[in-house]
Amino acid sequence: MSAFYDLASLAKPLVTAPLALAFLDLDADRRWSLGFRAREAPLTVRQLLSHSSGLPPWRPFTGEPLAIQLRLDVAGHPLLRPATPGLATYSDLNYRLLAELLEAETGVPFAHLGRALGLSPAPWSEAPTEVPDGPDLVAWSLATHQPPPPRDPLLPQDANARAGMQGHAGFGASADQLRQVLACWVAAGWPGRMAQESVPGENGTRWGLGLQMSFSAEGSYGQLLSRLPPGIGLQVLEDPTDDGPGPAPVPMAGSGLPSGWWYHLGYTGPALLFRPADGACISLLLHRRGPGGILLDAEALRARRWKLLSRFVGQSG
């Protein structure tokens, strides 16, 4: 039996963003419908898709309305910090609100919407490889007195999403299953619509309507991807092992020029890459767990992705 993967934040470009582009007005002001009555600036779907709404990176998924939750003072933690003024700030909260809007618009539970697209919503019948708790569990205790949801191997692995955070996580797939979903995703034109209208973000990033632009600085994924010839089509690259990879090249300062690729990363390890020029699509399926069951830090996870991607680039000539 093939491995089963918790897709984590790949739910954003595969489920939430396409449905938002299909069903929601991108520029209507949603402040009132989402409970943000004290907000001075409009709140639109376009802002939520591009992470330019000004919402902070994260709050625990406790079931409380987000607008009420954001009125509470919280202790210092990188996940709980405010958004950077004037720059897109990657935030799970944007997609949490998009899921609310989609359920209201369609009248269909969000899990059912994802299932209709071909993914498996949690709770799953087959558990993915378990990933240890990460920094969101620490941030949870600083942001609310409510206990985090109990660990369950059949629920999403992010602490904040273990109960199924709508719009942000809650879907899984095998490699074959994801390949079918991606074929439909590309054929329907969704990634092409998401890889445009870029908005400047923190640390030199640029966001479209659900995907992030990849740049070609030395040592970056974009530099590696730019070596791939046209016509590689759809590729699902799988590495379910827990081996410790060697270090990846250190990215040079500065982003470089756009590589022609756009991408999204998942907390639990998977990644999704798309090139609008020829419709090339690559998905990396791997687990964020190292030797001995430890949680890989961001650089070790980057090294594992680099190893898998560089092997494919080398094989592609």
User: Residues 64, 149: one domain?
Assistant: yes
User: Residues 212, 156: one domain?
Assistant: no
Q: What is the 3-state secondary structure (H, E, C) of the chain?
A: CCCEEECHHHHHHHHHHHHHHHHCCCCCCCCCCCCCCCCCCCCCHHHHHCCCCCCCCCCCCCCCCHHHHCCCCCCCCHHHCCCCCCCECCCHHHHHHHHHHHHHHHCCCHHHHHHHCCCEECCCCCCCCCCCCCHHHHHHHHHCCCCCCCCCCCCCCCHHHCCCCCCCCCEEEEHHHHHHHHHHHHHCCHHHHHCCCCEEEHHHCEECCCCEEEECCCCCHHHHHCCCCCCCCEEEEEECCCCCCCCCCCCCCCCCCEEEEEEEECCCCCEEEEECCCCEEEEEEECCECHHHCECCHHHHHHHHHHHHHHHHHHCC
Identify whether the C-beta of residue 56 lies closer than 8 Å to the C-beta of residue 84: no
**What pLDDT was estimated at residue 1?**
52
Q: How many residues in the chain? A: 317
User: Residues 76, 53: one domain?
Assistant: yes
For 304, the domain range is 173-315
Distance CA 259, CA 118 (A): 30
Q: Please identify, among 172, 198, 227, the residue that sits at the C-terminal boundary of a domain.
A: 172
Q: Do strands 280-286 and 234-239 pair parallel, antiparallel, or not at all (unpaired)?
A: parallel
User: Residues 144, 201: one domain?
Assistant: no
User: Residues 179, 167: one domain?
Assistant: no
% the chain with pLDDT above 90 = 83
List Cβ neighbours of 129 (8 Å cut-off, separation of 6 or more). Answer: 3, 5, 240, 242, 287, 289
**What pLDDT was estimated at residue 317?**
67
How much is the average pLDDT of 309-317? 89
Distance CA 130, CA 127 (A): 8
User: Residues 12, 140: one domain?
Assistant: yes
Q: Please identify, among 145, 172, 199, the residue that sits at the C-terminal boundary of a domain.
A: 172
List Cβ neighbours of 315 (8 Å cut-off, separation of 6 or more). Answer: none
Total number of domains in the chain: 2
User: Residues 245, 306: one domain?
Assistant: yes
Q: What is the pLDDT of residues 148-189, one digit of tens each?
A: 988 899 999 888 888 777 899 999 999 999 999 999 999 999
Q: Please identify, among 157, 172, 187, the residue that sits at the C-terminal boundary of a domain.
A: 172
Q: What is the pLDDT of residues 101-148, one digit of tens each?
A: 999 999 999 999 999 999 999 999 999 998 888 889 999 999 999 999
**What pLDDT was estimated at residue 242?**
87
Q: What is the pLDDT of residues 276-305, one digit of tens each?
A: 999 999 999 999 999 989 999 999 999 999
Q: What is the pLDDT of residues 30-68, one digit of tens each?
A: 999 999 999 999 999 999 999 999 999 999 998 899 999
User: Residues 155, 213: one domain?
Assistant: no
User: Residues 74, 113: one domain?
Assistant: yes
Q: What is the pLDDT of residues 249-280, one digit of tens each?
A: 988 877 889 999 999 999 999 999 999 999 99
User: Residues 82, 160: one domain?
Assistant: yes
User: Residues 221, 150: one domain?
Assistant: no
Distance CA 315, CA 237 (A): 12
% the chain with pLDDT above 70 = 99
- Going by C-alpha positions, the residue among 95, 254, 266, 283 that lies closest to residue 178 is 283
pLDDT band at 213 (very low <50, low <70, confident <90, very high): very high
Preceding peptide of 123 cis, ω within 30°: yes
Identify whether the C-beta of residue 58 lies closer than 8 Å to the C-beta of residue 92: yes
Q: What is the pLDDT of residues 60-94, one digit of tens each?
A: 998 899 999 999 989 889 999 999 999 999 999 99
Q: Tokens 């590495």 label which residue? A: 239
User: Residues 112, 162: one domain?
Assistant: yes
